[in-house]
Amino acid sequence: MKSFGYFKWMPYEDSTEEFDNYKQFINSIPKQRIIEHIEGLERWLTSLPGRDYFTGEPLQSGLYEDGDFVFPLDFLHYYKNYDIGIPYEYEEYLKKILK
């Protein structure tokens, strides 16, 4: 499995990624389409204490699993509210399934 979106302030194990790196992803799939897709995925909730790094807003911890990809529930929050993209590899996967 491949994971993404585990930013280094998140409470999960192996959260090491840089948030700024995701600002560089420019995706061709419309953002709303991607959000709708992710929101349709089954949520796996966990009890780790999650908060928005910038605002302190409480966030539900957990993960989404989509094909071979795993990413935290928090990622959707950041994707919705901040100007970041999704990794190209995941976008390629979405292009295949969102026809």
Query: Using CB under 8 A as the criterion, which residues of the chain lie in contact with other proteins when the complex forms?
Result: 1, 3, 12-14, 42-49, 60, 62-63, 70
Beta-carbon-side half-sphere exposure of residue 35 (alpha carbons within 13 Å): 13
- 14 vs 18 by CB, closer to other proteins: 14
Q: Cβ closer to other proteins: 14 or 20?
A: 14
Closer to other proteins by Cβ: residue 24 or 47: 47
Structure-block tokens of residue 7? 């930013």
CA dihedral for 23, 25, 22, 86, sign (positive or negative): positive
Give, as one character, the DSSP assignment of residue 50: E
What's the closest the beta carbon of residue 88 comes to other proteins, in angstroms?
Answer: 21
